[in-house]
Chains A and B, each alone.
Chain A
Amino acid sequence: MNSRNIENLVNILKTLMAVVVSYAIAAVIIMLVSDMPQQAISSFSMGPFSTLRRFGNVIEGMIPIIFTGIGVSIMLSIRFFNLAVSGAFYMSAIIASAIALIPMSVGLHPIVGIFLGGITGAAICVLPALLKAKWGINEVVSALMFNFVATFIGSYILRFVLFDPMAGFMASRVFQDTVRLPLLIQGTRVHVGLILAGVVTVFAYIFLYHSKWGYSIRMTGMNKSFAIFSGIGVSWATIFATVIGGFIVGVGGASEMYGMFTRFQWTDLPTTGFDGVMVAAMARRNPALIPIAAFFLSYIRVGADIMARSSDVAQEIVAVIQAIIIMMIGAEALLAGLKKRAILKNSAKEVNV
């Protein structure tokens, strides 16, 4: 075993340990707040697997997070921390909803809508990159501002363009039937978007690790000076990464609409964009690991939901658990002592040889 292997092993252990520790903390919290902790814990951990319908909920919830997670992973590969994914996801859902109201033929309709959703996502995600390249504006600041712009433009479109006065609540008119994505598993709401998410995952993996564009993106992300020195067009690579990443996020927003809803009724930014940041961090930017991380995130959400309904523990507790997991995984120092001891022991062995 060499130091590199120890490092990889420690990373895997760290993720597992983060999960275990946060579950233990969750259990403690549940025991403190609940009068029936045993039932609460079992519905939280086993609930999502108890019926097909509930398991379907986990899968449905996972689909949009895969899209945003993949999009964020591509952008983070060039070290571009683009929070505009949130606004991009929201805006692409609105544009897709607008397309969904126009009559169109069966096969073509969702394709047009999803494609335009992707274009919307790309257009919003590239803006902070352009502003940074042109005027050096910090992407975190500009992306947060774009999220406000997206929220209010979105709610303007909903209220004055798509609004259905007959609905009785804030929602768009009902989508055309032609746009609906077919169901994949009967008895759940799992739709064709799952397959699309799988395709996108494979595409993103190949794109990042086996294409020349992915190569230039990763090299720029790992060492910008080296990329410039080697003749890689760094600004262009950044723009390219945000366009591809944003497109995937937008595809996610549109397919979420067509798979899960019959009207658009979001009046505020959904958390899906930030969920993408979370799973990208958990998966360490590797697209191949994004579905696992997204599944996990969706699983604890559904478990929390079931627990909230079937016991006396409030759903808020789950937000606490989530936060703990993310912090644990992000914590560089966690297990650092173990890692150091393992490496030292390994080297000490060599000394004695």
Chain B
Amino acid sequence: MVFELTSILAMQGITKIYPNGLIANRDVDFMVEKGEIHALIGENGAGKTTLMKILFGAEQPERGTVHLRGEPINFSGPMEAIKAGIGMVYQHFMLVESMTVAENVVLGLEPCKWGLINIEEAQRRTLEISKQYNLNVDPKARIMDLSIGQKQKVEILKVLYRKAEILILDEPTAVLTPQETRELFVQLKEMKEKGITVIFISHKLKEIVELCDRLTVLRRGESVARASVAGITESEISKLMLGQEVQLGVEKESAKPGAPSLRVKNLIVRNDEGRNAVNDISFGVRNGEILGIAGVEGNGQTELAMAISGLTKYAAGIVEIAGKDIRGASVRGIRELGFSHIPEDRMTYGACAFAGVYENLISDRYYKKGYSKYGLLQSNHINSEGDELISGYYIKCRSGREPVLSLSGGNIQKVVVARECSAVPGVLLANQPTRGIDVMAAGFVRRKLIAMRDTGAAILLISADIDEVLEVSDSIIVMQNGKIAAYFSDATQATAEILGEYMLGLKTQTTEEIRRVFHE
């Protein structure tokens, strides 16, 4: 086998099969040079995470070799990988919220004096590293008081404190605003100058072109390309990633909004800690309109969705669906008003993993006329309608009886979307409708939302993906700290940069401007 001797990391012929039969990696080659920023790109489910888990020792490959600095390695666990100078920053932060930055950074490797933790030394070293790499955070601040962008810096500091020479970032920009992303890129380039190798996992083409030196593309578990970023265009990368030319954007005509079908007035929702997660907000969603809610996650969007759908109680305010106040109504009662909901967590709320596709498609209507008669389920009708939905929504499954568990994430999401859209709702709440699914499925879901809008449904779209909000919505509100920070009656007037400023709380519109979204 041939590999460049300069490669700091060479993974060759990696094949990984999971116990459930999924082939996550198939003969993958992955080489990284010292001091570069190397993009590992591919769709969700292409095998990026598995490859990194193998490198990190969290999974063992069935076949293949890993060389680090020319030496063959076989880590049996993350501790060994960390010792060998590999550090990973996960998408979901692993920090102790109640402790300070310095305490989190040194956790597990605390500087000690007389057998006790030397807090001053921890703070001094944290400060030293943060100065060195220009990652400015106060070592004495508590994690829970930090913004998402700052928390990410703490994660990077943690890795650098452990003297990592290879830094793996798993979709680091997914949770960041455009401003925070730009800051992160500056810092990553600075680290590169200081000799640190960065592996950047992403599927955002723009960012890769802007930041990275070289890239490796994974598709369906195989490595399909290795190239220098300088010599490749965005559309070429996209084609490599998807295996075919795909129209990524969605087309739509301008909205013709009618009267509001969903109205929220002075709504207050408390979270488990008793804090006002949704703090006195009012808005209306009109028929034939998609109202997008942009915002950094954790600014009250989840609580808002739970309250509107009847899954949690709200402390004060009014929610009206089709002109009816839903206070005290059951979930079924709310659905019968013509409300549908694509939930953000499809495996907890959206689908029943062990039940078949047919059974998942009827959970909101199984008791209704046509689906059951004298208490008995009408399987002929259920199965034939199920087959129509399976073909109409391009759900890939062996049969309608196949458990949802064995479908891919994108197909499970299509099952959820098929059920919620086929209910022909007057009001549709779509919460993170394309999270974690492949580009083709995401495009399908977005086009479906627009088609629903065109037939007159009022659609509330909640998404942490700014590009999605901008692309799909007709009008946009920004949620920040439980309140509406801005309203754009025409989504084309907003850009990621402008939204980002409101998302970060740098700017807020006047009460008068925001009040327009109530559509009095």
Contact = CB atoms under 8 A, between A and B. Distances in A.
B355 A219 contact: yes
Interface stretch (B35-43, B270-278, B372-380): B372-380
Q: Chain A interface residue count: which class? A: 20 to 34
B341 interface: yes
Of A212, A216, A228, A340, which is in contact with the most chain B CB atoms at under 10 Å from its CB? A212
B153 interface: no
Main secondary structure of the interface of A (DSSP, over half): helix
Nearest to B26: A351
A51 interface: no
Given A229-B331, A344-B21, 8 more contacts: A2-B398, A3-B21, A219-B352, A230-B331, A231-B332, A233-B332, A347-B17, A350-B23
A4 B375 CA distance: 30
Interface string B346-365: 00111111110001001110
Nearest to B382: A215
B330 interface: yes
Interface in A300-353: 339-340, 343-344, 346-348, 350-351
A39 interface: no
B363 A348 contact: no
A226 interface: yes
A350 B21 CA distance: 10
A351 B23 contact: yes
Contacts of B376: 206, 210-212
A210 B372 CA distance: 9
B15 interface: yes
Contacts of B245: none
Contacts of B15: 351
B19 A212 contact: no
Given A4-B403, A226-B350, A344-B17, A212 B23 contact: no
B161 interface: no
B133 interface: no
B49 to A, nearest CB: 18
Contacts of A211: 372, 375-377
Of A206, A223, A339, which is in contact with the most chain B CB atoms at under 10 Å from its CB? A223
Nearest to A348: B17
Contacts of A222: 352-355
B363 A219 contact: yes
Given A233-B332, A347-B23, A226 B375 contact: no
B145 interface: no
A261 interface: no
A211 B378 CA distance: 9
Given A218-B355, A344-B62, A230 B363 contact: yes
Contacts of A227: 352, 363
A215 B359 contact: yes
A25 interface: no
A38 interface: no
B400 interface: no
A276 B94 CA distance: 45
23 contacts: A2-B406, A3-B406, A4-B402, A4-B403, A6-B21, A210-B379, A213-B375, A219-B355, A219-B363, A222-B353, A223-B353, A225-B349, A226-B363, A228-B311, A228-B331, A229-B311, A231-B330, A231-B333, A343-B20, A344-B21, A347-B17, A347-B22, A347-B23
A233 B330 contact: yes
Interface in B378-412: 379, 398, 402-403, 406
Contacts of B359: 215, 219
B122 to A, nearest CB: 41
B23 A229 contact: no
A232 interface: yes
Given A3-B406, A4-B406, A229 B341 contact: yes
A231 B335 contact: yes
Nearest to A339: B19
A230 B334 CA distance: 11
A340 B62 CA distance: 12
B343 interface: yes
Interface of B: 15, 17, 19-23, 26-27, 62, 309, 311, 330-335, 341, 343, 348-355, 359, 362-364, 366-367, 371-372, 375-377, 379, 398, 402-403, 406
B406 to A, nearest CB: 6
B301 to A, nearest CB: 17
Nearest to A344: B17
Nearest to A212: B372
B415 to A, nearest CB: 12
A231 B354 CA distance: 19
A223 B20 contact: no
A262 to B, nearest CB: 39
Cβ-closest 9 pairs across A and B: A231-B332, A230-B363, A3-B21, A229-B349, A212-B372, A231-B331, A223-B352, A343-B21, A226-B352
B172 to A, nearest CB: 30
B21 to A, nearest CB: 4
Interface in A231-262: 231-233
A3 B23 CA distance: 12
Contacts of B17: 343-344, 347-348, 351
A64 B218 CA distance: 59
Contacts of A233: 330, 332
A190 to B, nearest CB: 32
A292 to B, nearest CB: 23
A225 B398 CA distance: 26
Contacts of A348: 17, 62
Interface string A1-26: 01110100000000000000000000
Nearest to A234: B331
Given A3-B20, A215-B359, A346-B21, A229 B350 contact: yes
A228 B350 CA distance: 10
Contacts of B341: 229
A229 B359 CA distance: 15
Contacts of A2: 21, 398, 406
Contacts of B19: 339-340, 343-344
Nearest to A7: B20
Contacts of A223: 348, 351-355
B381 to A, nearest CB: 13
